[in-house]
Copies of this chain bind each other. A is one copy, B any other.
Amino acid sequence: MRIHTTELRVRYAETDKMGVAHHSSYLLWFELARTGLLREAGFPYRDMEAAGCMLPVIEYGCRLLRGAAYDDLVRIDTVVSELRSRTVAFRYRAWRGDILLVEGFTRHVCVDPRNSLCSVPTDIRAAVAAYREPAGDQ
Contacts and interface: CB of A to CB of B under 8 A. Distances in A.
Interface of A: 9, 11-13, 15-20, 22-24, 27-28, 31-32, 35, 44-46, 49, 54, 56-65, 67, 69-71, 106
A113 B67 CA distance: 15
Contact of A44 (B35, B62, B71): B71
A60 B62 contact: yes
Given A24-B24, A24-B28, A71-B45, A56 B18 contact: yes
22 contacts: A9-B32, A11-B31, A11-B35, A12-B16, A12-B22, A13-B27, A13-B31, A16-B17, A17-B17, A17-B18, A17-B20, A18-B54, A23-B106, A24-B24, A24-B28, A35-B71, A44-B71, A45-B71, A56-B67, A58-B64, A59-B64, A61-B61
Contact of A15 (B16, B32, B54, B59): B16
